[in-house]
Structure 1
């Protein structure tokens, strides 16, 4: 996915400039996750990143560009994490371990702040078309990683061959995102765990060897 700085400009940045830009984006991502996109100002980001106004506007023409930089940064992190977590999954137990890792990480903060990517989507998708499109691509990439794991399960005979892996992947990702939201409002990761368990129990029922769902 292309960022707010094109390839030529990226190559012209010095090592110090790259570090400064990364610090600005990291500070903005933290602030937007806690305060929300609308409540986060450029001055907030300047103070949190320890940079000057001229440094921020050297890298980002306005807040919209900074939001796109945050989406790219957060998205890249999540897709790398999910690639590592799902890249070799080919069993239901592997999916359950993936579920456990996400729930345990969320439980450490008592459900607070939800999914970083989902929170951004809730803040900007309805009124920023460029941001919505970028988020849609990232969620599609995430769903595709889940679908790849489900396809490997089909190849091993763990799932029925006529199952639509992409259909199931979208449902599982929706359960995850809904679980994040419920955990956020409950102050506990328990609802997130239950949402994922129900989705995985349904997937288990699609095994040719477990048609009764047990």
Structure 2
């Protein structure tokens, strides 16, 4: 981002990024030109290059960051309130609905294909998104643990990592098949694992005719 932007400049830049995201979602990354974005956002060529002096790739990275932030924002307020089984179920339903509505199009994935998944900017966006998502899930599991709903010795980081990996795998399969079956299964199984971990184990009973030691 250009240094020392005024409040008006930041608002203009944000408007360009949001408008570009709308165009890219509608037309696709490969079919969208800077002229399309200028037309949608009402910006001149000089203005566009003022905020994105490195050109289209810099703008695409800014849109990718916007889309990454949107992934988490679409899960709120539920992702920030995972302190009961009811709140986990509401979050689960929101995640499924989000990706079902998205269908077989993945704006974030398409953007990364355009700018290169291994480019430093793209990698930083993906790493930041996954780190924050896992931290939010871990915070929710800790809230369950504080309420006595999961086992006190549950490995929170491992459980949150497994749940996130299941979501990503389910979404990938959904993009390939058009079916949300695997995503639903990953979420349901991950949440059920948390539930089972908090179920107290009954002490062994004595069979009839045996003596208690």
TM-score over 0.5 for the pair? yes
Aligned to 1:44: 36
Unaligned ranges ≥5, structure 2: 203-213
Are 1:99 and 2:92 counterparts?
A: yes
- Equivalent residue in structure 2 for 1:66, among 50, 54, 59: 59
CA shift digits 1:134-173 (9 cap, x unpaired): 3201220111000000011111111111111121111111
Are 1:78 and 2:71 counterparts?
A: yes
* Alpha-carbon distance between aligned partners in 1 of 2:109 and 2:201, rounded to the nearest angstrom: 33
Partner of 1:113: helix, strand, or coil? coil
* Alpha-carbon distance between aligned partners in 1 of 2:200 and 2:85, rounded to the nearest angstrom: 12
Q: Is the 8 A contact 2:52 2:58 kept in 1?
A: yes
* Alpha-carbon distance between aligned partners in 2 of 1:146 and 1:70, rounded to the nearest angstrom: 25
Are 1:88 and 2:81 counterparts?
A: yes
Q: Is the 8 A contact 2:163 2:186 kept in 1?
A: no
- Equivalent residue in structure 2 for 1:196, among 162, 187, 207: 187
Question: Greater CA deviation, 132-141 or 144-153?
Answer: 132-141
With CA pairs under 8 Å and 6+ residues apart, which has the higher RCO, 1 or 2? 1
Query: For the aligned residues, what is the CA RMSD?
Result: 2.8
Question: Shift in Å at residue 36 of structure 1?
Answer: 5.4
* Alpha-carbon distance between aligned partners in 2 of 1:210 and 1:186, rounded to the nearest angstrom: 40
Aligned to 2:205: none
Partner of 2:197: helix, strand, or coil? coil
* Alpha-carbon distance between aligned partners in 1 of 2:163 and 2:34, rounded to the nearest angstrom: 36
Q: CA separation of 1:124/1:65 partners in 2, compared to 1, >3 Å: closer, same or farther?
A: closer
Aligned to 1:127: 118
Normalising by structure 1, report the TM-score. Answer: 0.78
Aligned to 2:208: none
Question: Shift in Å at residue 46 of structure 1?
Answer: 2.2
Partner of 1:205: helix, strand, or coil? helix
Q: CA separation of 1:40/1:127 partners in 2, compared to 1, >3 Å: closer, same or farther?
A: farther
Q: Is the 8 A contact 2:29 2:110 kept in 1?
A: no
Question: Which of these two proteins has the greater Rg computed from alpha carbons?
Answer: 2
Q: Is the 8 A contact 1:121 1:135 kept in 2?
A: no
Q: Is the 8 A contact 1:32 1:40 kept in 2?
A: yes
Question: Shift in Å at residue 19 of structure 1?
Answer: 4.3
Partner of 1:167: helix, strand, or coil? helix
* Alpha-carbon distance between aligned partners in 2 of 1:157 and 1:42, rounded to the nearest angstrom: 54
Are 1:157 and 2:154 counterparts?
A: no
Q: Is the 8 A contact 2:138 2:156 kept in 1?
A: yes
Alignment length (residue pairs)? 201
Aligned to 2:209: none
- Equivalent residue in structure 2 for 1:169, among 160, 163, 167: 160
Are 1:138 and 2:129 counterparts?
A: yes
Are 1:209 and 2:196 counterparts?
A: no
